């Protein structure tokens, strides 16, 4: 725990109380907002659906109502069209025109048209005041209808023209004279006459100049008495606004809601707001509301110039639309029910405003309640927090008292119990820590004393060569003070030459690598040689080669032997190494003296041997010399002289052997040598002697790898062994020479069937000047020379013999030849 900082004083973070209040607010506000949005969306959607369905129903009902009214007017027109008088008159006119030729008919009609244009009174009277015209007038005023079906005043006043045409479209009878005469080219006439078949035809709204208003027309064919063909057309022109406005204008709801009638082109036929004859402002709206199925649409505009999305109900006039423009497909009439979106959605917005206001009040209450609740929760928690801090500091003396009757009170009880147990536990723990600390200090002190009592210098350092510890012996040996070891490098303390420094650094790096690879450190000490080390006193020591490998340091005038050792460190700490130095100055001096003494002893042995060997022939020479002095017989003198020469040759041979031992191998260079070849050559040499010629010789040369050696040396070594065997068998027996590779080693086996070597002599056969031969037969240096040559080649020679059962000389060489650099120093 951070004792230096009081959590209360921390800034920039939210306390538990603030979080609790915020959580409560979020818990209240988020559902409120989600509810508001969902209510708004759902309410709007429901209003759209309900309004749409209501508008659709209203549009459908309005369409039915208008359809009935239009249908009634068509029925009234059909009463005119089915009047027998009118049918009869038009049949007569048809027959009259049919009796005329084509030209006569055209001439007559043209003449009538011209007269009508000129307002010929006779023709006008014929058309306007004829029997048919009077009949039309009676229908117009309603006197020709049944008493229960009078022509409504609205329909009568809206009727701006009512006339009859014949089967050519020429005017036959009319209420008023202000109508054209020929109508055969007009769409309504062609639609109603329909090639004589006859079809009801309601023309879309259009502006009539004569009437000065937008009108629509109803045209019905007048079929003949057999209903076989049309003999004329009854045509009625009605003011659209005057006719429909009493029907559509009362349909209002709210401030803006209303119903209107449009045709399939979007032209307004009747609307309380828009004037008749105008087209809906948004052309894209027209296909949406002129379907042949009742429905409603959420349109991108309202059709009244507004561009807000609007709910529009629509329906077509089912029966009247069959006759509009001749057929349903040619264009129908539709009702259009609309209400302003602002007005339509005003209840939702009003409701939303109220909900928002209540929601804000609820949020305020929630914040207050949250503050009170958070205070009740946070106050005991803060007391618990303070208690925990006091426990951490070990300063809680009084138990925490919280009486909330819930988990917090249980927590306070547990904290009090924990505090009691901690106090008890800490009391024993402090004693243990102090005791262990003292033990560690004693151990550290003892270690320092042990290390200081060690006479050899011990240095501990890290892998960066920084010295971390020096024992007393180091300080004494290198004249160091305690201050010197601070941040001192190893080589600042040890004044050694550059090669030795590099050597130490390499070893340090090697240990570092081993440590980093997780390997156990390998002792840098040279492994001790095992077995008996037979030393040839005449063989020069390889002092210069081994000195580089020896773990010795020359510091000042002293010579130190050293060893590295690893020091265990806790995990995570840098590894450390130790360096133990041992003053070997006196030991080196004694070693040199010992070598010198050993050399002198060897020289004595050598001299004794040489003296012994030379003494006998020398005494012989001396004896023969004295005999010659007293001898007068010249022949006898010659015999003595011959003997003296023999003794001289003997002495010369002894000296040559000695010289060969000492100087063997000076000449020649090491090459790859085939052992089988050299064995054969040596065997030939042995067979040249008289004893070798009569022996049974068995050879078994297996292919063996070559070795790196001097061939003449190797041949001499083999000759020495073979000659020993030949001489031992004294001309009788079997000599076996075999080669082969066993366990990775080249083996040369030279076995004889001679008398063998007695056990007491067996361990001396390689000693210089040791021989079992008679005086003058051997120098005792053959096997010594042979073993030196074999060892120089990296090989090993072994003599196995049992008395009376022959001798085996086993020579082995490693398959890998020694490197050329390994030469005997000259």
Partner 1 sequence: MKTAKRQTAWWVPAGLIMATVGFWGLSSAARDSGGSGKIAPEKVAEYVHAVIEADRTIYTTHVVDRMQEKGITSAVEHWEQQNALPLPAQFLQYSGRVAAEKGSGIRYRLISLWPIYQRNAPAAEFERKGLEAVISQPQRPFTGTVTSGQKQFFQAIYADTAITKACVSCHNAHPLSPKRDFKLNDVMGGIVITIPLP
Binding site for partner 1 (CB under 8 A): 88, 91-92, 94-95, 98, 194-197, 223-229, 292-293, 316, 318, 328-329
Tokens of 318: 């089912």
Q: Smallest gap, in angstroms, from Cβ of residue 107 to partner 1? A: 22
Q: Is 494 helix (H, G, I), strand (E, B) or coil?
A: coil
Under 8 Å between Cβ of 348 and 44 = yes
Q: What are phi and psi of 562, to 5 degrees?
A: -135, 160
Question: With respect to partner 1, which residue has the nearer C-beta, 318 or 818?
Answer: 318
Q: Smallest gap, in angstroms, from Cβ of residue 98 to partner 1? A: 8
Q: Smallest gap, in angstroms, from Cβ of residue 263 to partner 1? A: 14
CA–CA gap between residue 772 and residue 774 (Å, rounded): 7
Question: With respect to partner 1, which residue has the nearer C-beta, 193 or 214?
Answer: 193
Under 8 Å between Cβ of 265 and 331 = yes
Q: Which of 87, 181, 88 is nearest to 128 (CA)?
A: 181
Q: Smallest gap, in angstroms, from Cβ of residue 119 to partner 1? A: 31
Q: Smallest gap, in angstroms, from Cβ of residue 300 to partner 1? A: 22
State the residue for tokens 């004044």.
495
Question: With respect to partner 1, which residue has the nearer C-beta, 82 or 561?
Answer: 82
Q: Smallest gap, in angstroms, from Cβ of residue 228 to partner 1? A: 5
Q: Smallest gap, in angstroms, from Cβ of residue 36 to partner 1? A: 43
Question: With respect to partner 1, which residue has the nearer C-beta, 331 or 521?
Answer: 331
Q: Mention every residue, 6+ apart, whose C-beta is less than 8 A from residue 200.
A: 74, 78, 192, 218, 219, 220, 221, 322, 323
CA–CA gap between residue 504 and residue 250 (Å, rounded): 118
Residues pairing with 597 in the sheet: none
Q: Smallest gap, in angstroms, from Cβ of residue 286 to partner 1? A: 13
CA–CA gap between residue 186 and residue 217 (Å, rounded): 12
Q: Smallest gap, in angstroms, from Cβ of residue 78 to partner 1? A: 8
Q: Which of 222, 219, 103, 110 is nearest to 166 (CA)?
A: 222
CB-side neighbour CA atoms (13 Å) of 157: 9
Question: With respect to partner 1, which residue has the nearer C-beta, 196 or 733?
Answer: 196
* Cα-only R_g, the chain: 72
Q: Smallest gap, in angstroms, from Cβ of residue 44 to partner 1? A: 31
Q: Smallest gap, in angstroms, from Cβ of residue 95 to partner 1? A: 4
Question: With respect to partner 1, which residue has the nearer C-beta, 221 or 665?
Answer: 221
Q: Smallest gap, in angstroms, from Cβ of residue 201 to partner 1? A: 14
Question: With respect to partner 1, which residue has the nearer C-beta, 87 or 746?
Answer: 87
Cα-based angle 562, 564, 568 (whole degrees, multiple of 5): 150
Q: Mention every residue, 6+ apart, whose C-beta is less than 8 A from residue 722.
A: 682, 683, 685, 686, 735, 737, 750
Neighbours of 166 (CB within 10 A): 25
Under 8 Å between Cβ of 317 and 24 = no
Question: With respect to partner 1, which residue has the nearer C-beta, 223 or 675?
Answer: 223
Residues pairing with 709 in the sheet: 671
Q: Smallest gap, in angstroms, from Cβ of residue 92 to partner 1? A: 6
Q: Smallest gap, in angstroms, from Cβ of residue 260 to partner 1? A: 21
Question: With respect to partner 1, which residue has the nearer C-beta, 228 or 426?
Answer: 228
CA–CA gap between residue 82 and residue 578 (Å, rounded): 137
Q: Mention every residue, 6+ apart, whose C-beta is less than 8 A from residue 522.
A: 514
State the residue for tokens 């008395």.
803
CA–CA gap between residue 694 and residue 697 (Å, rounded): 9
Tokens of 138: 């009676």
Under 8 Å between Cβ of 194 and 207 = no
Question: With respect to partner 1, which residue has the nearer C-beta, 32 or 262?
Answer: 262
Q: Which of 253, 240, 139, 234 is nearest to 188 (CA)?
A: 234
Per-position b or e across 101-128, b if 16+ CB within 10 A of its CB: eeeeeeeebeebbebbeeeeeebeebbb
CA–CA gap between residue 235 and residue 206 (Å, rounded): 15
Handedness of CA 340, 345, 347, 349 (dihedral sign): negative
Q: Which of 532, 526, 586 is nearest to 559 (CA)?
A: 586
Q: Smallest gap, in angstroms, from Cβ of residue 195 to partner 1? A: 5
Q: Smallest gap, in angstroms, from Cβ of residue 322 to partner 1? A: 8
Question: With respect to partner 1, which residue has the nearer C-beta, 126 or 264?
Answer: 264
Question: With respect to partner 1, which residue has the nearer C-beta, 317 or 675?
Answer: 317
Under 8 Å between Cβ of 563 and 525 = yes
Q: Smallest gap, in angstroms, from Cβ of residue 209 to partner 1? A: 32
Question: What's the residue count for the chain?
Answer: 826
Question: With respect to partner 1, which residue has the nearer C-beta, 123 or 320?
Answer: 320
Question: With respect to partner 1, which residue has the nearer C-beta, 227 or 554?
Answer: 227
Q: Measured over all CA atoms, what is the biggest interatomic distance in the chain, rounded to whole angstroms?
A: 219
Question: With respect to partner 1, which residue has the nearer C-beta, 90 or 515?
Answer: 90
Question: With respect to partner 1, which residue has the nearer C-beta, 297 or 734?
Answer: 297
As a three-state string, the secondary structure of 684-728 is: HHHHCCHHHHCCEEEEECCCCCCEEECHHHHHHHHHHHHHHHHHH
| Helix-strand-coil split of the chain, %, nearest 5 | 50, 20, 30
Question: With respect to partner 1, which residue has the nearer C-beta, 94 or 787?
Answer: 94
């Amino acid at each position: 725990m951070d004792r230096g900082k009081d959590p209360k004083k921390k800034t920039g973070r939210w306390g538990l109380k603030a979080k609790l209040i915020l959580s409560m607010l979020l818990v209240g506000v988020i559902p409120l907002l989600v509810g508001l949005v969902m209510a708004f969306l759902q309410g709007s959607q429901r209003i759209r659906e309900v309004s749409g369905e209501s508008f659709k129903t209203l549009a459908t009902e309005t369409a039915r109502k208008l359809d009935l009214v239009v249908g009634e007017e068509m029925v009234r027109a059909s009463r005119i069209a089915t009047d027998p008088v009118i049918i009869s008159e038009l049949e007569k006119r048809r027959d009259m025109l049919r009796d005329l030729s084509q030209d006569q008919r055209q001439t007559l009609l043209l003449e009538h048209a011209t007269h009508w244009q000129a307002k010929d009174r006779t023709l006008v009277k014929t058309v306007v005041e004829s029997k048919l015209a009077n009949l039309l007038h009676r229908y117009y005023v309603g006197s020709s209808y049944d008493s229960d079906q009078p022509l409504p005043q609205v329909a009568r006043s809206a009727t701006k023209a009512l006339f009859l045409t014949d089967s050519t479209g020429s005017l036959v009878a009319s209420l008023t004279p202000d109508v054209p005469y020929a109508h055969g080219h007009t769409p309504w006439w062609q639609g109603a006459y329909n090639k004589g078949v006859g079809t009801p035809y309601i023309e879309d709204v259009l502006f009539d100049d004569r009437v000065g208003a937008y009108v629509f027309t109803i045209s019905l064919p007048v079929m003949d008495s057999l209903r076989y063909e049309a003999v004329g057309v009854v045509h009625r022109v009605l003011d659209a606004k005057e006719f429909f406005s009493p029907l559509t204008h009362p349909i209002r709801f709210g401030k803006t809601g209303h119903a209107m009638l449009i045709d399939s082109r979007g032209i307004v036929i009747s609307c309380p707001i828009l004037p008749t004859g105008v087209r809906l402002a948004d052309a894209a709206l027209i296909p949406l509301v002129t379907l042949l199925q009742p429905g409603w649409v959420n349109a991108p505009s309202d059709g009244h110039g507004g561009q807000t999305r609007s709910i529009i109900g629509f329906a077509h006039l089912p029966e009247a639309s069959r006759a509009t423009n001749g057929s349903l497909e040619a264009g129908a009439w539709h009702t259009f029910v609309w209400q302003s979106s602002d007005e339509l959605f005003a209840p939702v917005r009003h409701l939303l405003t109220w909900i928002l206001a209540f929601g804000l009040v609820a949020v305020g209450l929630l914040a207050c309640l949250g503050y009170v609740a958070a205070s009740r929760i946070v106050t005991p928690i803060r007391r618990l927090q303070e208690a925990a801090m006091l426990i951490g500091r070990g300063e809680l003396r009084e138990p925490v008292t919280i009486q909330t009757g819930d988990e917090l009170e249980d927590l306070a009880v547990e904290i009090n119990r924990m505090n009691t147990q901690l106090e008890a536990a800490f009391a024993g723990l402090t004693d243990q820590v102090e005791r262990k600390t003292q033990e560690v200090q004693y151990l550290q002190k003892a270690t320092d004393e042990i290390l200081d009592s060690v006479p050899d210098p011990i240095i501990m350092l890290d892998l960066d060569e920084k010295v971390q510890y020096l024992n007393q012996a180091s300080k004494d040996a290198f004249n160091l003070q305690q201050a010197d070891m601070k941040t001192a490098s190893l080589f600042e303390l040890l004044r050694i030459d550059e090669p030795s420094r590099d050597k130490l650094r390499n070893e340090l790096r090697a240990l570092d690598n081993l440590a980093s690879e997780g390997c156990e450190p390998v002792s840098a000490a040279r492994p001790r040689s095992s077995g008996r080390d037979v030393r040839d006193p005449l063989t020069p020591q390889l002092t210069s080669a081994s000195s580089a490998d020896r773990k010795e340091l020359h510091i000042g005038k002293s010579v130190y032997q050293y060893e590295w050792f690893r020091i265990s460190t806790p995990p995570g700490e840098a590894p450390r190494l130790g360096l133990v130095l041992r003053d070997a100055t006196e030991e080196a001096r004694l070693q040199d003296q010992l070598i010198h003494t050993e050399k002198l002893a060897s020289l004595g042995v050598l001299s004794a041997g040489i003296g012994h060997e030379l003494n006998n022939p020398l005494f012989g020479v001396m004896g023969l010399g004295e005999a010659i002095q007293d001898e007068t017989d010249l022949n006898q003198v010659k015999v003595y002289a011959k003997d003296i020469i023999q003794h001289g040759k003997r002495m010369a041979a002894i000296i040559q052997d000695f010289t060969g031992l000492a100087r063997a191998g000076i000449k020649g260079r090491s090459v790859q040598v085939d052992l089988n070849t050299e064995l054969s050559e040596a065997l030939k040499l042995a067979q040249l002697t008289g004893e070798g010629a009569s022996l049974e010789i068995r050879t078994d040369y297996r292919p063996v790898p070559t070795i790196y050696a001097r061939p003449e040396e190797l041949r001499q070594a083999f000759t020495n062994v073979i000659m020993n065997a030949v001489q031992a068998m004294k001309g009788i027996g079997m000599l076996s020479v075999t080669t082969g590779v066993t366990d990775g080693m080249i083996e040369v086996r030279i076995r004889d069937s001679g008398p063998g070597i007695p056990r007491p002599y067996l361990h001396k056969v390689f000693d210089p000047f040791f021989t079992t031969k008679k005086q003058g037969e051997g120098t005792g240096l053959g096997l010594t020379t042979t073993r030196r040559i074999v060892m120089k080649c990296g090989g090993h020679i072994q003599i196995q013999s049992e008395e009376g059962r022959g001798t085996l000389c086993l020579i082995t060489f490693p398959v890998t030849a020694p490197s050329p650099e390994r030469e005997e120093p000259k």
